[in-house]
Structure 1
Amino acid sequence: MADNGAVGGARIGAVGGAGTGAVGGVATGAGIVAGIGKGAGIGAGAGVKAAFGLPAGPAAAAVPAVGVAPYQELTFDVQGDVDPATRAAVARIDATDLLVFAHGWNSDRTTATRLFDRFFAPFPGLVGAGVRLGYVGVVWPSIRFSDEPIPDFDPPAAAGTAATAATAATALDPATRLALEAFWPGRDAELGRVARLLDERPESEAAFAEFGALVRELVQVDRAETTAAAAGADGAPEVPDLFARDVLEVCRALADALARSGPEGSAAPAFAPGDGLRTLWGGAKELLRQATYYEMKKRAGVVGERGLGPVLTDLAGRRPALRIHLIGHSFGARVVSFSLRAAPDGARHLKSLTLLQGAFSHYAFSDRLPHDARRGGALRGLQRKVAGPVVACHSAHDSALGVFYPLASRMAGDSAGLLGFDERWGAVGHDGLRAVPDAPRLSLEAALRDGLPEAGCVSVDAGSVVRRGGPPSGAHSDVCHEELARIVVGAGRMGR
């Protein structure tokens, strides 16, 4: 992959040696999100905490075993409240440099811990003699549909007839059903009807209308304000137009997007005249998935700004010599990025920020939006709170961010229409950071060979390693590679 040009100014020394390939691809499911919005997530009930292994009382759960040490998990609920026992355990880690990694989508704590274990595995052999690493896994309530494949984690789907495959593609398996019930506690009746409709796939406009109404109820569209005064931090209404449009129109657009994210990148639509409405139930399931991401987008921002950010600021006040390095995958990238809002001006404890397939706007750090110079991104200027580089690793093989993220964002009410292209809706994990002056764009090979800037934003095309994964999310979850660990080490100036 060609380098996109030389980078002016001082640079961190290159991380020596070529990467040795994948350390087992893994991660947390698709980071797709519909619409834009900011605000508190739904309240955490006992079901949510139990499903994700979060402590229901004052005592923290036992720390799962991982292959690096010292390691602790820092747990938050949907309102950004930290578990005090995990907070105290993190504060006791003896280290010069603390790697703080927030996962993306997960339905259970076990999967999150496996991600942390595999991603952290190469680090001990990459850092210099004077660096004593500590490891923190940020655990926050989230959900992954079981049909979002994780490379090297999930077994391949069994073959079957076309009819069986169509039903399986839309039906909710037991694990996803349980995860949804924990995600939306007390909504078992609505979810039961949603599951039946997806399983039966009735060829009826009335059935689609009912499905749309059920999804609207799950995301509480009718209770939310949608006026300009209620606009979120990204400048769009709190509830995206995705959930207010004609449900058949939305399902057609989503079904077509599913086809384009399929094997070999086929652009053929998932439906054709005469096929009937049954072919659109795959799009209906995607609408349900988008509803969970709508909630998750808000939740990730809350956990970052109200939870992780204050915890790290307090830790830095108690241990001023500790160097903290933030890492986030998918919407975990949103968690760590929004934590910058809580960092005081002039703070120097955050030494690097690495985003792996980040599921938020590529204009987030922009002072001025190209399409509206009066406004900036949701995180405008916050890269200045990092005493080192903000590195955005991206890949064109990420279908979750290359296909679904812009489609869902366009459905937030943009006049370009559902299928019209508009660069304003791109995700940082698909094409890197945009509209940030003096932000170089590098290939992964160039970044490893020549090093990274000492500060400011930089985009690194990681498509040479982040490339495995099937539909609907593509390579979105293929992030456990030694090369990416080397990027983190180089960003934090921890190398040999």
Structure 2
Amino acid sequence: MTGMSVEPYREIIFDKDGDGPPGQASELAALARRGVGDLVLLAHGWNSSPSGATRLCSDFFAPFPGLLAPGVEAGYAGVIWPSMMFSDEPVPDYRALVTVLPEKEPVIGRLTELLGAAPPEEAAFAEFGALLRELADVAAEPVAVREAVPEFLVADPVAVCALFTRALEGVDGPVPPEGLFGGGLKRYWKGAREALRQATYYVMKKRAGQVGEHGLGALLGEVARTAPGLRVHLVGHSMGARLVAYALRGLPAGARPVASVTLLQGAFSHYAFAARLPHDPGRSGALRDLQHRVRGPVVACHSRHDTALGVMYPLASRLANDSASLTGPAAGPLGTDDPRWGAIGHDGVRAVPGTVERTLAEVLREGVPGSGCVSVDAAEVVRSHSDICRPELARVVVSASRTGR
């Protein structure tokens, strides 16, 4: 591919349902017949165009050839899927929204109009709430899964926007009838912007799991069948980390093509791999024990500097899983101090016995353990959510894959 930093490189393309063009598994298996023994596969967490995702793959993979041991034959692949940035910024990029949700363009257009005009009438907030539900396809949800719909999408939209406004302003206590600091309902449009961000997060969260489990997992199963000697090393950033982790759930029974997994600023629960949740021992994480489907380590790189995962992710998770959140108490105005809602990319793997914790310096000096869950504090180089194109992180992946010098 012209302009790609490494070769051989392939792109694996999925749509929002996890479907892709035929022959993609065969293309990866063909690499093995050409002598490739290790395939490093990166799933991006955000992009506004396929070309942007390709550039990310090129930048991330650039250090790899200089890090590999003599005799290692590596191939590379990028998973391209319709996602958007889960950014550190408080307002979504509406053009990016249309790119990844083209079928919702009229809805997004009207949402943008309302946010720009900020009308102070309750009827406008009611319309805004209805548009959010349409954006997230909540109305199309079967009754049987209704309880899985985030409360903020079905609750009173004025109350929801007031909640988000309070959180963003750092204000505790009841909201006065005239609105925060006066100004009536108009001021709540600040919270409405965050409500749109959270609705987008909900859509992308569902999509990443769908593409990972039903798209990538099935594809890797086919690769394992046709090229059983190929060692696959999964790398994912942000929602792409969720995607590659859910691919483990989609692997066919008995298939073990994955030799290592590296999660970079993963935008999913730090309890995902737990057999028992600390706050609810009768329940387990969504990916319970799936680290055992990996022949080598599952590495979670995390950073306390990641405000997207340290602030906005807990808020999104709290409102997606707790119907009492809109009226009940929270730890701090955003609920970010409550460990139930923490992200694996903010503080690593939690509640999995035997998890090894290392600093980045320790891993670069001593290497990654050969198996099990490993949490790597990468705060010394990762200063924001998208700060992943670092040679140090490439070295972590190479160490986990056992392909380094």
Superposition TM-score, scaled by structure 1 size = 0.73
* Structure 1 residue 75: Cα displacement: 0.4
Q: How has the CA–CA distance of structure 1 residues 356 and 418 changed in structure 2, closer, same or farther, with 3 Å as cutoff?
A: farther
2:189 to 281, 286, 291: 281
Q: How has the CA–CA distance of structure 1 residues 454 and 222 changed in structure 2, closer, same or farther, with 3 Å as cutoff?
A: same
Aligned to 2:48: 107
1:245 to 134, 147, 155: 155
Answer yes or no: is the 8 Å Cα contact 2:381–2:390 preserved in 1. yes
| Secondary structure at the counterpart of residue 113 of structure 1 | helix
Q: How has the CA–CA distance of structure 1 residues 276 and 142 changed in structure 2, closer, same or farther, with 3 Å as cutoff?
A: same
* Structure 1 residue 222: Cα displacement: 2.7
Which residue identity does 2:324 align to in structure 1? Answer: S
Aligned to 2:226: 318
Pairing 1:494–2:375 present: no
Which residue identity does 1:343 align to in structure 2? Answer: L
Answer yes or no: is the 8 Å Cα contact 1:407–1:418 preserved in 2. no
Once residues 402 and 99 of structure 1 are traced to their aligned partners in structure 2, the CA distance between those partners, rounded to angstroms, is 28
* Structure 1 residue 257: Cα displacement: 4.6
2:349 to 427, 430, 433: 433
2:59 to 111, 118, 123: 118
Pairing 1:376–2:281 present: no
Aligned to 1:201: 118
Q: How has the CA–CA distance of structure 1 residues 121 and 188 changed in structure 2, closer, same or farther, with 3 Å as cutoff?
A: closer
Pairing 1:73–2:11 present: yes
* Structure 1 residue 125: Cα displacement: 0.6
Aligned to 1:98: 39
* Structure 1 residue 255: Cα displacement: 3.6
Aligned to 2:133: 216
Pairing 1:303–2:211 present: yes
| Secondary structure at the counterpart of residue 222 of structure 1 | coil
Once residues 67 and 352 of structure 2 are traced to their aligned partners in structure 1, the CA distance between those partners, rounded to angstroms, is 30
Q: How has the CA–CA distance of structure 1 residues 256 and 480 changed in structure 2, closer, same or farther, with 3 Å as cutoff?
A: farther
Q: How has the CA–CA distance of structure 1 residues 304 and 245 changed in structure 2, closer, same or farther, with 3 Å as cutoff?
A: same
The structure with the largest helix share of the pair is 2
Answer yes or no: is the 8 Å Cα contact 1:410–1:418 preserved in 2. no
Superposition TM-score, scaled by structure 2 size = 0.89
* Structure 1 residue 274: Cα displacement: 2.1
Pairing 1:230–2:145 present: yes
Which residue identity does 1:101 align to in structure 2? Answer: L
Aligned to 2:393: 484
Counterpart mapping for 1:17-28 below 5 A: none
* Structure 1 residue 370: Cα displacement: 1.0
* Structure 1 residue 187: Cα displacement: 3.6
Answer yes or no: is the 8 Å Cα contact 2:18–2:211 preserved in 1. yes
Aligned to 2:175: none
Aligned to 2:176: none
Once residues 97 and 389 of structure 1 are traced to their aligned partners in structure 2, the CA distance between those partners, rounded to angstroms, is 15
Answer yes or no: is the 8 Å Cα contact 1:104–1:329 preserved in 2. yes
- The one-character-per-residue Cα deviations of 1:96-147 (angstroms, maximum 9, x if unpaired) are 11001101122211110111011101111111002111010000111238x7
Once residues 130 and 384 of structure 1 are traced to their aligned partners in structure 2, the CA distance between those partners, rounded to angstroms, is 28
| Secondary structure at the counterpart of residue 92 of structure 1 | helix
Q: Looking at both structures, which has the greater relative contact order when contacts are Cα pairs under 8 Å and sequence separation is at least 6?
A: 1
Answer yes or no: is the 8 Å Cα contact 2:45–2:85 preserved in 1. no
* Structure 1 residue 276: Cα displacement: 4.2
Pairing 1:338–2:246 present: yes
CA RMSD of aligned residues (A): 2.4
Q: How has the CA–CA distance of structure 1 residues 258 and 134 changed in structure 2, closer, same or farther, with 3 Å as cutoff?
A: farther
| Secondary structure at the counterpart of residue 164 of structure 2 | helix
- The one-character-per-residue Cα deviations of 1:280-302 (angstroms, maximum 9, x if unpaired) are 32321221122122111111111
Which residue identity does 2:392 align to in structure 1? Answer: E
Once residues 10 and 140 of structure 2 are traced to their aligned partners in structure 1, the CA distance between those partners, rounded to angstroms, is 39
Consecutive unaligned residues in structure 2, runs of 5 or more: 173-178
- The one-character-per-residue Cα deviations of 1:210-262 (angstroms, maximum 9, x if unpaired) are 21121112223233245xx527xxxxx331112122323322333455467xx
Pairing 1:394–2:309 present: no
